Amino acid sequence: MLAELLLNWYDLHQRRFVFRGPKDPYLVWVSEIMLQQTRTETVEDYYIRFTKRFPDIRSLAAADEGDVLKAWEGLGYYSRARNMQKCARVICDKYGGIFPDDYEKVRALPGIGPYTTASVLSIAFDRPYPAMDGNLTRVLSRVYGVRECVDTPAVAEQLRRIGEREMPARRCGDFNQALMDIGATICLPGTPDCEACPLQEICDACKKGDAPALPVKKEAKPPVPVSVSVLIIKQGGRVLMQQREQTLLKGLWTYLLFENKDRDQILSELKRAGIECVFLREMGKAVHVFTHRIWNMTIFECEMRPELNVPAGYLAVTKNEMEKLPMPVAMKAARKLCMDEVFVR
Ligand code: SF4
């Protein structure tokens, strides 16, 4: 019953996106990875650019990591891009560049979790795996009246089994995408529009009137605020950059960043690294919110003496060179100040 209602509705009301047409598993995979933690409307432009630059698994596997990160710049959660490239290389090495169609093989690839495995296999190969994301969890918990906390493995598995049980013999990808679309447009968190919903007649939460309270979830911890000094250190017509090694924003280029440190601590740390510089002025402030932390940034212009060598591990770049480096969105305000006010002096 669920599948029939869903597919009839989907035929008339599905959302149309550029990445919805092709059944090529590589293209489905790229779009599914991009769609994690990113709004669907935002993904379209990135998807077009990325798949033009890397049209197949082999081109992604052969690319320079910096080029992949550059093509991903602005989408955030950069480990997704790095893992995609690792994954493309494994597919080339182990499967001759052909995306596998077996659940265990796909699930074992780097950066591919149960959700991505199920969505790629169902959409590209019509395999009966429910793609359990936030939308499917919300819609299924409401329709089938699951009122226990969905963050526990047992309840998550209960919902996955419901999805599996209700999956039609054909059009498995459409079944998943119909649930995603209803979750994204009608069965919204907090404010479901039951009057407009094709599942109203079979929905337990709608009948009992507690749909806005479902699904039951653990309270999320708020992100931790961190004070970050962003140092734009100039030397002649160049500015010092550093490539991040930390898990957060790994591989991307930033100005020199110092968390929760005062000016004296920063200067002595820099001296130890072979960078002697002076603070010239505070240029501005910026805030960037990650999932688990908030960077409260103060941006400084600094100067390093021209006769000093740039130590290993840092790059001194011109304006043009900076434009080509993959930089995170968290650096957007600092980068603008650098471009507008530092490079012109
Ligand atoms: S009837 Fe209401 S609660 Fe049930 S699936 Fe539809 S929108 Fe969600």
Q: Where are the domains of the chain?
A: 2-131+154-183, 224-342
Q: What number of other Cβ atoms are within 10 A of residue 223's Cβ?
A: 13
- What CATH code would you report for 2-131+154-183? 1.10.340.30
Q: Which of 56, 31, 57 is nearest to 44 (CA)?
A: 31
β-strands 224-235, 293-304: how paired? parallel
Residues 50/123/291/49 CA torsion (nearest 10 deg):
10
**What spacing in Å lies between the alpha carbon of 190 and ligand 1's midpoint?**
11
Class of domain 224-342: alpha beta
The reply to whether 224-342 shares the fold of 2-131+154-183 is no
Atom of ligand 1 nearest to the CA of 205: 3
Query: 117 and 129 in contact (C-beta within 8 Å)?
Result: yes
Q: Whats the size of the chain, residue-wise?
A: 345
Counting residues of the chain whose pLDDT is more than 70, the rounded percentage is 100
Q: What angle do CA 271, 313, 256 make, to 5 degrees?
A: 60
Mean pLDDT confidence for 17-28: 89
Question: What's the CA gap between 192 and 325, in Å, rounded?
Answer: 43
Atom of ligand 1 nearest to the CA of 138: 8
Which residues touch 237 (CB under 8 Å, ≥6 apart)?
318, 319, 343
pLDDT category, 305, cuts 50, 70, 90? confident
pLDDT category, 345, cuts 50, 70, 90? low
Question: What's the CA gap between 226 and 22, in Å, rounded?
Answer: 43
Six-digit token string for 92 = 């080339």
Question: What Rg value do the Cα atoms of the chain yield, rounded?
Answer: 24
- Ligand 1 contacts (CB < 6 A) are 139, 142-143, 186-187, 192-194, 197, 199-200, 203, 205-206, 211
Mean pLDDT confidence for 240-265: 93
Atom of ligand 1 nearest to the CA of 197: 6
Is pLDDT of 46 > 70? yes
Active site residue 44: no
pLDDT category, 76, cuts 50, 70, 90? confident
Question: What's the CA gap between 231 and 34, in Å, rounded?
Answer: 31
Global confidence as pTM: 0.77
